[in-house]
Amino acid sequence: MATPTLPAELSDATRDETSLRRFLHGLPGVDQVGVEQRAAGLGTRSIKKGSKLWAIDTAISMVDLTTLEGADTHGKVRALAAKARRPDPDRPDTPRVAAVCVYPDLVSTAVGALTGTGIGVASVATAFPSGRSSREVKLTDVALAVNSGASEVDMVIDRGAFLEGRYGQVFDEIQAVKEACAAAGNTAHLKVILETGELATYDNVRRASWLALLAGGDFIKTSTGKVSPAATLPVTHVMLQAVRDWYVSTGELRGVKPAGGIRNTKDAIRYLVAVHEVAGPEWLTPSLFRFGASSLLNDLLLQRRTQLDGHYSGPKYVTVD
Amino acid sequence: MSDNRISVAKTYKLYVDGKFPRSESGRTYPVTDSKGAFLANASHASRKDVRDAVVAARKAFGGWSGATAYNRGQVLYRVAEVLEGRREQFAAEVAASEGLPARKAQSVVDAAVDRWVWYAGWTDKIATVLGAANPVAGPYFSFTVPEPTGVVGVLAPQESSLLGLVSVVAPVLATGCTAVVVSSADRPLPAITLSEVLATSDVPAGVVNVLTGKASELGPWLASHGDVNALDPTGAGPLGRVEIAREAAGTVKRVLAVPEDEPDWTRRPDIARLRRYLEPKTVWHPQGV
Amino acid sequence: MSMWEYAPAPESREIARLKESYRPFIGGEFVDGGGEPLKSINPATEEVLTEVGTASSSDVDVAVKAARKAYDKTWRKMPGAERAKYLFRIARLIQERSRELAVLETLDNGKPIKESRDSDVPTAAAHFFYHAGWADKLDYAGYGPDPQPLGVAGQIIPWNFPLLMLAWKIAPALATGNTVVLKPAETTPLTALVFAEICQQADLPPGVVNILPGAGDIGSELVEHAGVDKIAFTGSTEVGKLIQRSVAGTSKRLTLELGGKAANIVFDDAPLDQAVEGIVNGIFYNQGHVCCAGSRLLAQESVVDELLEKLRYRVSTLRLGDPLDKNTDIGAVNSAEQLAKIRELAESGDAEGAQRWTSPCPVPERGFFFAPTVFSDVEQSMRIAREEIFGPVLSVLTFRTPDEAIAKANNTPYGLSAGIWTEKGSRILWAANQLRAGVVWANTFNRFDPTAPFGGYQESGFGREGGRTGLEAYLDV
């Protein structure tokens, strides 16, 4: 399982199941009260004026505009793609979002609508959201997504295996998906969804984060959005700390994506403050931080208008897609 | 027993670190009964004896304070048993020292034994009474436990040579502190006999150290000593207490507030003395998963 | 990608309702003090905020007599349930005026508004709420039936938490039936004088609370006044010793809450990121002007490098500057004098061979500021390991074994607080037991609550504040 480019203590960690287990369980614990307090403390940062506008624009550019419903249609996806291209039709200077995120069978529709825009197409895969299927089915799912043109794959880890302590299996599966992302000349980035709401403890979030990073995930992502709680600030803190620690150990920058439950600008800015102060300013870019969200975008647009117009805006001035 | 028998003249020694050394100074002084008749010679402790006693008390503190409360209670009950066995001797010494009729002296001794038993029973209860679970406004478990303050200098009462002595020494031991005791200067015999009791029960060496001598001379050395945590100035008298309290300020010692005159030791005590030798320690820990 | 700068987000100083002058509060009235008025300075700008009238020694006498009269005529006779209602009123009024108090505290003291707003003022109110409930339940406090108050309490408080220390002192004193003459610190008298207004608003009987601004000489007058039954002092060990000496041989009761040089012990199995938070909170909270600050970091050698790397990064994110800015983490040092002391001790660290690291944060040109500083390679023998710096300066020492950690932690005449960081439960309880300190925080630091007794061992003072235990300081038991 070893990845040759890593420093010895990390490549040794993935030598076998026992080493992996020992490594993950040797990570420092996370004190729940401490991390929640830190998150709440940073949450009191007051971001005003120019710094707020900067944050809003940056947040918009980090949105993975998402629709993951059984009722999704080609029309819905095209509408979303249109929104991604021109989030605020009245204000063409509004940044575009980072990507549109859809189920694999709708990837080709999204790709068709976004070709040439620079906006990514992300697809959930690996029997999203539960991840409960065979490896074969999961990889077929991934192949469908990447062969349809997805530039990013959001996989789910096997939480059952993780909670059973079969870390090697989770690791192997992430690696296999990573390989599938690169199969047949594809270059899809891999986001690994930990589904932190099912991992129950911050210690597990930290272990799962490292597991995903060791296995080659380009991003670690909190949630599917289908499980409550989805993204929370303290969970994101733990994951941001993990990518920072990873960077300190390896020199590599990996990304973080909170998803689900981030609905308004205030929340988004709290996340950006956490990115800024926990991971570091280098992470304040769509290539290293994303928001998995749908309704967030419109609130960002409303707040953007408020900032620029000097008065409050209303929901009728932004598009419903 | 013949009336003509020449008795064995006694020169009593100090009790330090479980042993009975002479005073480093070599000094002794005669002890008389309440009517002035010679009883024995006692060692006249010096400041260097204070120094040695504090070293012994500090050395013993870790073990004594670290012993389980149950174990300390057992040791102190054992002391009471040995005290009980020496009732006759104590009664004679109290009678001679304090000029009490035999019957009265006997009742003082009984009260002293009972007092010791009373404090012995506190060892494993006082933390329950004084400790607390603090209902703090946050996700923490916070609790407060009383812990022994350390080495206590005890200037024992000058008048009440046994009951007073026991009333001031037993609470020190019950809390887990160790003691350097300066006995009544003129009435040291019960203190000396108590030393012998302590030496032959299960009290670890150094837990109690008994110096015979003058509180006015030794008190200030105890008060200024950097390795003494608390002080009971009872035996120093009103004037001596002021000087001692001033000296004690240099190291922020805990000095017991004591009444002008010796109290009526036969009255049932409360737990104030125990409280004075205990430091409430508050511990916090988060509660999380 | 451009750097993200946070725009200034200052709280309005108008909220403080700063007045041109403030006066002592005696017998329920604001009066002209006989002392030389002092100028209260904003330590963040060095500008004069206002003029404060101070007490003279005859004012001390008048105040003590007012307190005695209130004690004899009103307060001691009042049923506890009635006293309680006054305390509840005061608590509510503190809450109602919390923004004003917070901004005023920040102006006068230099602490960040987020601390005065989120910590000092709400905790002060909490102390009054907590103690209000005790006033009619003293029979259950464990000191026997119907425990009696002491009389007139003279209270002297420091400048690091002006309003909060006032609450720690006044709330238990009043709840137990004592009356109070309080001297706030020379450099931070303002919130105490607003508190005096609150006493008026609450219709507290005149003389129950008297506030005397002034310098140390007024403190001495108060300590030595024959009409005072009890002295409660929070401040330096040096002054505490003088006070203990001064009251020696009198019948005055004394409690002291003095200095500290707390060890914050990080074992190699600690939750490192939270330990870093705890270390930062322990030494940089309130600019390190905290008697229980975790000023000595004791890190296990096997983890010290990783810990220091994380710590330096974290400290570099601390925002130093305008205390009124809601995003400021570290405000101004309270006075030029204190700043000089911090600098002098830091220089001794350099001279004695410790390695100084200073946060690269920008430092304002005006005002009394000291950038967060971490000294590594510190040895027990250095001054920065032994003396209380009372500033944002951390000394890092190392240890190899748990016994060594405890030995080093306890190797100080102080004994106020200590910290333990480890994931191992039995080690926490073992270390908590071994540490000679009145407050032990395990996997957290600098937590305070009215229900939790606080106070020191050894030269950190005696007596406790808070909880059932804290009532003892004001009862004749």
Looking from the CA of A309 toward its CB, the CA atoms found within 13 Å total 13
Q: Are residues C308 and C250 in the same domain?
A: no
The predicted structure's pLDDT at residue B239: 87
Q: What is the pLDDT of residues A242-263, one digit of tens each?
A: 999 999 999 999 999 999 999 9
Q: What integer pLDDT is reported at residue A2 of this predicted model?
A: 43
Are the C-beta atoms of residues C424 and C266 closer than 8 Å to each other? no
CATH top-level class of A30-309: alpha beta
User: Quick one: pLDDT at residue C175?
Assistant: 98
Q: What is the pTM of this model?
A: 0.96
Query: Is A221 tagged catalytic?
Result: yes
- CA C439 to mean position of chain CA atoms: 14
Q: Which fold has domain B20-286?
A: Aldehyde Dehydrogenase; Chain A, domain 1 (3.40.605)
Residue C80's CB is within 10 A of a number of other CB atoms, namely 17
Q: Are residues C42 and C159 in the same domain?
A: yes
pLDDT > 50? residue C358: yes
In angstroms, rounded to a whole number, what is the distance separating the alpha carbons of residues A33 and A43?
A: 15
Contact B278, B123 (CB under 8 A): no
Task: Return d(Cα C335, Cα C332) in angstroms, integer.
Answer: 8
Instruction: Quote the domain boundaries for residue C297.
Output: 263-442
Distances (CA, A) of A247 to A210, A243, A244, A283, C7: 12, 6, 5, 11, 29
- pLDDT above 60 (res C302): yes
Pairing verdict, β B278-286 and C439-442: parallel
Average pLDDT by stretches of 10, chain B with 289 residues: 72 96 96 94 97 98 98 98 96 97 97 98 98 98 98 98 98 98 98 97 97 97 98 94 96 95 95 97 97
Which phi and psi (to 5°) does residue A306 adopt?
Answer: -55, -45
Residue A134, pLDDT above cutoff 60? yes
Residue A5, pLDDT score: 75
Please tell me whether residues C20 and C53 are part of one structural domain.
yes
Q: What distance in Å separates the CA atoms of residue B236 and residue C248, rounded to the nearest whole number?
A: 14
Cβ-defined contact of C452 to B138 (cutoff 8 Å): no
If asked whether residues C123 and C227 sit together in one domain, one would say: yes
Determine the pLDDT at residue C156: 98
Q: What is the CA radius of gyration of chain C?
A: 22
The active-site residue, picked from C105, C221, C257, C459, is C257
**Cα of C101 vs its chain's centroid, Å:** 16
Domains identified in chain C, total number? 2
How many beta-carbon contacts under 8 Å exist across A and C? 73
Confidence of residue C2 (pLDDT cuts 50, 70, 90): low
Residue B6: what pLDDT? Answer: 84
- Nearest C-alpha of chain A: how many angstroms from B136? 14
Can the peptide bond before residue A129 be classed as cis, meaning omega within 30 degrees of 0?
yes
Are the CB atoms for B117 and B77 separated by under 8 Å? yes
Q: Tell me which residue in B132, B252, B272 faces C468 most closely, judged by beta carbons.
A: B132
pLDDT in tens, C115-125: 999 999 999 99
Lowest mean pLDDT among A317-321, C106-110, C200-204: A317-321
Which residues from chain C sit within 8 angstroms of residue B227, using beta carbons?
A: none
User: Does C180 map to a domain?
Assistant: yes
Chain B: closest CA distance from residue A201 (Å):
6
Question: What mean pLDDT comes out for the span C385-399?
Answer: 97
Q: Going by DSSP bridges, is the β-strand pair C38-42/C47-52 parallel, antiparallel, or unpaired?
A: antiparallel
Selecting from C242, C459, C467 the residue whose C-beta is nearest the C-beta of B251 gives: C459
Do the bridges between strand A63-66 and strand A99-102 make them parallel or antiparallel, or are there none, so unpaired?
parallel
Minimal Cα–Cα distance from A186 to chain C, Å?
A: 28
What's the mean pLDDT when you consider all of chain B? 96
| Structure-token pair, residue A278 | 């926990």
Q: In whole angstroms, give the CA distance from residue C285 to residue C331.
A: 10
Q: In DSSP terms, which residues pair with C376 in a beta bridge? A: C355
Residue A165 has pLDDT above 90, yes or no: yes
CA distance C112 to B235: 52
The predicted structure's pLDDT at residue B3: 64
Over residues A181-223, the pLDDT tens digits come to 998 888 999 999 999 999 999 999 999 999 999 999 999 999 9
Phi/psi at B52 (5° precision): -65, -40
Contact C273 A35 (CB under 8 A): yes
Question: Which of A31, A33, A199, A238 should one mutate to test binding to chain B, selecting the residue with the greatest count of B CBs within 10 A?
Answer: A33
Q: Does residue C234 sit in the same domain as residue C327?
A: no
- CATH number of the domain enclosing C292: 3.40.309.10
CB contacts of A248 in chain C (<8 Å) are 309
| Chain C residues close to A280, C-beta within 8 Å | 313
Same-domain pairing of C462 and C407: no
- In chain B, % helix, strand, coil (3-state, to 5) comes to 45, 20, 35
Contacts of B28 (CB under 8 A, 6+ apart): B11, B41, B42, B43, B44
- Alpha helices, H only, C110-161: 113-115, 121-134
Contact residues, chain B, for C433 at CB < 8 Å: 147
The answer to whether residue A191 is catalytic is no
A263: burial class by Cβ within 10 Å (0-12, 13-18, 19+)? middle
Both C268 and C231 in a single domain? no
Residue C78: which CATH number? 3.40.605.10
Residues of A in contact with C4 (CB under 8 A): 51, 54-55, 58, 272, 276, 281, 284
Does C336 have pLDDT greater than 70?
yes
pLDDT in tens, B59-116: 999 999 999 999 999 999 999 999 999 999 999 999 999 999 999 999 999 999 999 9
User: Do residues B57 and B231 make contact, with C-beta atoms less than 8 angstroms apart?
Assistant: no
Please say if A154 is a catalytic residue: yes
| Mean pLDDT confidence for C207-226 | 98
Contact by Cβ (8 Å): B127, B145: yes
For residue C1, being part of any structural domain is answered with no
Give the domain ranges of chain A. Answer: 30-309
Mean of all residue pLDDT scores within chain C: 97
